[in-house]
Amino acid sequence: MPRLAGSRLEGKVALITGAGNGMGRAASLLFAAEGARIIVADAVDDGGSATVDAVRAAGGEASFVRVDVSDDAQVRAMIDHAVQTYGGLHVLYNNAGIFPADDGGVTETPESTWDRVMDVNLKGVWLGCRHGVPAMLDSGGGSIVNVASFVALMGAATAQIAYTSSKGGVLAMTREIAVEYARRGIRANSLCPGPIDTPLLAELLSDPERRQRRLVHIPMGRLGQAEELAKAALFLACDDSSFMTGAALVVDGGITAAYVTPE
């Protein structure tokens, strides 16, 4: 098998949830190119297996584990799979998340939608850290990267109460974990993307008018690319960010820097 050129994650084991497509797949490929062995975790077998195949085709090492991140037993088994397969865990990238189409205003969003979003987007991150942290301590420490959102820092132009609330929770939880483990060799940071051109967002913005309402608020005038987020996640995952913990890295095309009036 040919050696890959990168070295920023050489010898590391990286677990990435939601790795079956979009940002998770892009991160899997990039982290593997930088020397990490990848645990591809996803709720969909086909997507996860395709990511593993892509990593291996590029000369990397990867293994797939099916997981519903809202299920405690499955998350525990996911972490066990990482340790049993590659001998430890050094990078935990909690990327999995959902954004249902009926997540809207505070008075319109169904309770069932609220509960499911919280289960996946917030509880899922907590469970990943709950079971991942002990494995990381046993491995000598490492880096946790939790995906929040720019809407954790400001209100969304289009109502999405459950998603926005869940990502605000991720931001607060990440700070708490960062402080708790700062002197035990584990860093924890949040990644706050703006709108990224992924299959999930493409489905949500399939209506051209709805898509344009989003684009008008992005100073750069375009959606971000999954590869751009992967590079930001790599920075947080590797020692390039060795003095960063409890921080929120915003990668949003300038949205949070601009003042606009929602239409």
Residues of the chain where predicted confidence (pLDDT) is lower than 70:
1-5, 200-213, 260-263
What pLDDT, on a 0 to 100 scale, did the predictor assign at position 59?
A: 97
Distance CA 127, CA 202 (A): 28
Residue boundaries of the structural domains of the chain = 13-251
What pLDDT, on a 0 to 100 scale, did the predictor assign at position 98?
A: 95
CATH fold of the domain at 13-251: Rossmann fold (3.40.50)
What pLDDT, on a 0 to 100 scale, did the predictor assign at position 155?
A: 87
What pLDDT, on a 0 to 100 scale, did the predictor assign at position 211?
A: 61
What pLDDT, on a 0 to 100 scale, did the predictor assign at position 4?
A: 46
What pLDDT, on a 0 to 100 scale, did the predictor assign at position 215?
A: 75
pLDDT in tens, 154-212: 988 788 999 999 999 999 999 999 999 999 999 999 999 998 887 766 666 666 666 66
What pLDDT, on a 0 to 100 scale, did the predictor assign at position 207?
A: 66
Distance CA 172, CA 186 (A): 17
What pLDDT, on a 0 to 100 scale, did the predictor assign at position 261?
A: 47
What pLDDT, on a 0 to 100 scale, did the predictor assign at position 198?
A: 75
Query: What pTM, to 2 d.p., does this model score?
Result: 0.93
Residue 102 tokens, joined: 């009926």
What pLDDT, on a 0 to 100 scale, did the predictor assign at position 216?
A: 75
Task: Specify the pairing of strand 13-17 against strand 37-42.
Answer: parallel
- Considering only CA atoms, which of 149, 132, 150 is closest in space to residue 141? 132
The catalytic residue positions are 163
